[in-house]
Structure 1
Amino acid sequence: MNIKKLVSALPAVCILFCIALEPAAAAGADASAADLRFQAIHTKEWQWRLAQRLAREPNDGGVSPALARVDAAAQEARRAYWEGILAELDALQPDALSPAERLNYAVYHAQVAALLDAQRFREYEQPVNADSAFWTDASYAARRPLRSLDDYRNYLRLLEALPDHFAQQTANMRAGLARGFTPPRVTLAGRDVALVSVAEARQPEDTVFFTPFRNMPSSLPAAEQDALKARAATLIREAVQPAYARVLAFFRNEYLPRARTSLAAQSMPGGKAYYQSKILEYTTTRLSAEQIHAIGLAEMAKIRAEMHATMAQAGFKGELPAFLQFLRTDPQFYAKTPKELLMHAAWTAKKFDAKAGQYFGYLPRRRFAILPVADDQAPFYTAGRGGPGAYWVNTYNLPARPLYSLPALTLHESAPGHAFQMPVAQEQKGVPPFRRAYISAFGEGWALYAERLGVEMGIYETPYEHFGMLSYQAWRAARLVVDTGIHAKGWTREQAQAYLMENTALARHEVETEVDRYISWPGQALSYYLGQMAIQEARARAEQALGPRFDIRHFHDTVLQLGSVPLPVLQQRIDAFIADGGPSPYPAAP
């Protein structure tokens, strides 16, 4: 099914996005005036976001001394503010903007619309799901390196502010509970483990929040270090641990027993409109649940045919279920220690380094570390995550972490996936700060495309590793079926788990963790495969049109230079790339 045709057949989407790259209708002076009006709007709004602590400046490596207010009054004020911003944007004439600002307008309009939708549906009343929660988010500051005295002092102020922030979040959860706006109860079981690790720690020094004080910079005098450690221990004992204990009691005694038992997003307040808003946010299209379900089924059939061909290459005699059972149980496919798993991940990352210059003209300056997922998060964490500076590998439950899938995971999360794509976007010059925001359809689509790219790059050395890549492809295509099945077609949790077990080589633990994530985070799972399809379609179109002039490095650089954009904007940019003859977006690129 042609994703470009599906996108281009949606006039409502093109009103939002595609117009951004249409030829300008205004003269230079008018375009400049329109540009100035648009710049004034987004500059004003961005400064407001910073003041609200809803955003940070790019390259801000410091520690914020406070947390954003999240109470109902602050949330309603944000709804009203973004409603006003959207009205100002709608009053502009996008075709009067310069080409660069029309692209910015397309991204920004979609971003503000998604932020406003989240406020209108009061998503802040559900600050927890099977994947994350505000209490795990709060611990991220403790995992960041602190380098200066100001960093440490700001961190201590953050600890002081934490109890009030938790109280606001708990009040929001109670409001969501009262109207049935919660994650399904079945997806929340055991999600209190991170609360327990702090609330029931015997000493403040045993909690994650003491992490920055275990190895302090030598530039700080010993007496200063001792004073900071003492203050931290006091705040953790008297403020942080009691706050975690209160949330733990609320979660166990009030929230979990009364959380909704239905699974579908369409059964929540807002019904079908709510789920459609999540489809728009995560896919940047107005495709319906039915259309997406059909795409998933069609793509699964294609991937299954590839799986059978790869099984034959491996010399396996038998049907797919038997092969999947073999992969899930044979010891040769599993690391014996966490270090072994991390070393295999590092080996794949270095194999990419050897090929990077053949596929990319622009290489990001920022490197990344390969790190194990923290113990308090690992039981319910995905197999890996990547971003600027880090690729986290989940070493918990090694029998659920097959080595044959690790190359695909590494390409997705490290390079040329997230730990590569995000720094490239951050290193672009002259881009307004709102363009640094992450759009799942683009970012996850690129990372999934990176897995397929590994075939061309020669990363997969055995039929089993190639099958691991196909299993990951099937996993993402299956998400189109499972997410829409759960949230629009009445699927049960068991039905969704069975579909993944039958169509992928994922371990039972990972299947259960992933399905609970889709149930409690509607729409997000749709972004991956639809995004990959858009990139693959754009590449195929460019290859056909440009013939021998097509340079894979120029295509990849053009895609990544955009940062994160809605899929229709990506398609329009590749149209321009083709019309221009396929040049590098970087004049100095080889």
Structure 2
Amino acid sequence: MKNFKLTMLVTCVISALSGCSSSNNTVQITPNAPSATTSLSAQQLNTLVEQYFVESLQFNPLGGTFIGYNEYNNQFINPISEQQRNKMRAFTEAYQQRLVAIDSKQLTGQALLSYQILKRDLALSVEGQGFPSYLIPINQMSGAHNTFAGFGSAQSAQPFNNYQDYENFISRADGFITWLDSVEQAMQQGIQQRIVLPKPLAEKLLPQFKAHVVSDVKESLFYSPIKQLPEQFTAQQKQQLTEQYSALIMDRLVPAYKKMSDFLANTYIPQSRDSVGYSDLPNGKAWYEYQIKKNTTLSLSADEIHTIGLQEVSRILSEMKAVKNNVGFEGSLADFFTHLRESDEFYYDTPEQLIAAYEAVKLKIDARVPSLFNIAPKADYIVKAVEDFRAESAAGASYQSPSPDGSRPGIFYINTFNLKAQPKFLLETLSIHEAAPGHHFQIALQQEVESLPLFRKFGGYTVFAEGWALYAESLGKELGLFTDPYMWYGRLADEQLRAMRLVLDTGFHAKGWTRQQGIDYMLENSSMALSDVTAEVERYIAWPGQALSYKLGQFKIQELRDYSKKQLGKRFDIKEFHTQILIDGALPMPILEAKIKRWVNSQR
């Protein structure tokens, strides 16, 4: 589910279960209770964090739309410029100065957690501003260009319910065009400084822009809102909006997309780089170390992580061999991988069949979740195919959080672009990860927790969100799933994917691995389709450090479960442990660990 503190909502960051919305299975979602008397320091902190959240939206109006702040619906993000970077730096440093003036020794409970989180976030933001990420502002996996297209499709968070909504998007489009021009300028500077995307990633960007260069306005994605004009609009309003949108698309958006397409094809791609790792960029080693710290919140070196990955890949391969023997397959593990990749019995014939299968698994899992949880989100989620315009480059599955007001459910996206990349044996494990009790459970619950400061309610950490989702997969057998050996293989395949990520991410960005080396390694150690492997490899190249968060987050949560169980013995309650992990929202791993250990001590 996709890293500013609001991005959890754009990707994930980034969001009820029919079986979990029953009053018999839910409790009021209230964070750990504060002390009876609120100290002056706590009052000062509460004021500061609320102001921080509201003021931060000026840098991310798209996030404002996702969380229902409609006053931002006509704005796009600021164009890339030194002035805007200075403004962001001044904002961050001002809040650091205000925070340090608060006496943290007087804080407890939620106030202490908020102080620790904000202090860490601000320091990390200042550190990150020392690296020129603005020179590579978009890639094939992420960027405001895709968020904008989603908004314009009328299938995302941008509302199109009244006349003002339609006017708002026109204004937002003006901002997008200005921003897109600044993106080209920034990427041109990147060429001059040799800070550019690897060639395979740059090439994947091109079709994302060319898709919007149309000759017939009705073929444009951005004409979609006109195709669903509300019935209550007058004939004059409908005619006026149709004319406005037609002019916006053909006179401004298509030329802007054409200009960017030409820049990519004629200038940027020819000068993109052949190497793929951050270690090949200026100050790349320090830049990658920062990415590890940002994404994992842990103090681990690239070498340590690489070694952990190699050990996990080997362990999981052994378990895969056991499944091969269990199902009576004669041949090597490599032969078994080929069998799983190529046999039609493991794949659906149509996208509709695939989506229907996930909808059926949803009902099955929802009915079993209460056995391990005493809290559940009120918000529902739906299963939906990834939109065509981004399917070729999108991940195999992803999650988008529900709207805070409940008007829009969470979305569990399945990529139906290549059905051979969506085997049947992934149904259970992938549904657990992306939906319940994985991403949907954690992110929707976080939004629903009462009295949680907004910067935490709508914030997040990749290592927490992805670590939780992978830990949730490990609960499958406890939920009565994975009884079919192939479904258990699916769980192992998913875990193997996350283990290989530790090897490949560090391999690319710290050890000089090539793109082909990464592809060969994944094909050798998994049954994944080549198309899926290629997309995964290019994802790790585009998002250094992000792929490390899954396994490392899972390890930490499992470690905390083992610690709690050992310390509490018979008093250990798995439902209460899960509540303690989830009830305070996403936390950096060191802060989560300290919190769980305080909880364990309080239970003795």
Q: Which residue number corresponds to residue 14 of structure 2?
A: none
CA contact (8 A) 2:212 2:220 kept: yes
- Cα RMSD after superposing both structures: 2.2
CA contact (8 A) 2:275 2:514 kept: no
SS at match of 2:474: helix
CA distance in 1, matches of 2:104, 2:65: 26
Q: Which residue number corresponds to residue 260 of structure 2?
A: 247
Q: Which residue number corresponds to residue 110 of structure 1?
A: 120
SS at match of 1:391: strand
Q: Which residue number corresponds to residue 12 of structure 1?
A: none
CA distance in 2, matches of 1:185, 1:69: 27
- TM-score normalised by the chain length of structure 2: 0.87
Shift of 1:87: 4.4
Of 570, 573, 580, the residue aligned with 1:558 is 580
Q: How does 1:372-451 map to 2 (within 5 A)?
A: 372-388=385-401, 389-435=410-456, 436-451=458-473
Q: Does 1:192 align with 2:206?
A: yes
CA distance in 2, matches of 1:219, 1:107: 47
Of 489, 492, 505, the residue aligned with 2:511 is 489
Shift of 1:42: 3.1
CA contact (8 A) 1:82 1:116 kept: yes
CA distance in 2, matches of 1:575, 1:314: 43
Of 525, 546, 555, the residue aligned with 1:533 is 555
Q: Which residue number corresponds to residue 96 of structure 1?
A: 106
Q: How does 1:116-135 map to 2 (within 5 A)?
A: 116-135=126-145
Q: How does 1:277-426 map to 2 (within 5 A)?
A: 277-388=290-401, 389-426=410-447
CA distance in 2, matches of 1:457, 1:170: 50
Distance 1:183-1:94 versus aligned 2 partners, 3 A rule: farther
CA contact (8 A) 1:50 1:57 kept: no
CA contact (8 A) 2:202 2:268 kept: no
Shift of 1:113: 2.8
SS at match of 1:457: coil
Shift of 1:247: 0.8
Of 44, 62, 67, the residue aligned with 2:76 is 67
Note the residue ranges of structure 2 that are not aligned, 5 or more in a row: 1-33, 402-409
Distance 1:408-1:260 versus aligned 2 partners, 3 A rule: same
- TM-score normalised by the chain length of structure 1: 0.89
Shift of 1:36: 3.8
SS at match of 1:505: coil
Distance 1:561-1:225 versus aligned 2 partners, 3 A rule: farther
Q: How many residues align?
A: 555
Q: Which residue number corresponds to residue 522 of structure 1?
A: 544
Of 570, 573, 579, the residue aligned with 1:548 is 570
Q: Which residue number corresponds to residue 10 of structure 1?
A: none
CA distance in 2, matches of 1:226, 1:416: 47
CA distance in 2, matches of 1:415, 1:207: 35
CA contact (8 A) 1:32 1:98 kept: no
CA contact (8 A) 2:135 2:195 kept: yes
CA distance in 2, matches of 1:414, 1:48: 31
Q: Does 1:513 align with 2:527?
A: no
* CA deviation string 1:212-249 (max 9, x = no partner): 22223333334323322221111111111111111111
Q: Which residue number corresponds to residue 189 of structure 2?
A: 175
Of 249, 263, 288, the residue aligned with 1:275 is 288
CA distance in 1, matches of 2:199, 2:103: 46
CA distance in 1, matches of 2:349, 2:295: 37
Distance 1:217-1:111 versus aligned 2 partners, 3 A rule: farther
- Aligned AA for 1:155? F
Shift of 1:547: 2.7
SS at match of 2:425: coil
* CA deviation string 1:322-374 (max 9, x = no partner): 11111001110011000011111111111111102112111111111111111
Note the residue ranges of structure 1 that are not aligned, 5 or more in a row: 1-23, 583-590
Distance 1:28-1:350 versus aligned 2 partners, 3 A rule: closer
Identity %: 32
CA distance in 2, matches of 1:315, 1:573: 47
Of 253, 260, 275, the residue aligned with 1:262 is 275
- Aligned AA for 1:189? E
CA distance in 1, matches of 2:239, 2:578: 51
Of 471, 482, 493, the residue aligned with 1:471 is 493
Distance 1:441-1:375 versus aligned 2 partners, 3 A rule: same
- Aligned AA for 1:33? L
CA distance in 1, matches of 2:67, 2:400: 14
CA distance in 1, matches of 2:192, 2:103: 42
SS at match of 1:315: coil
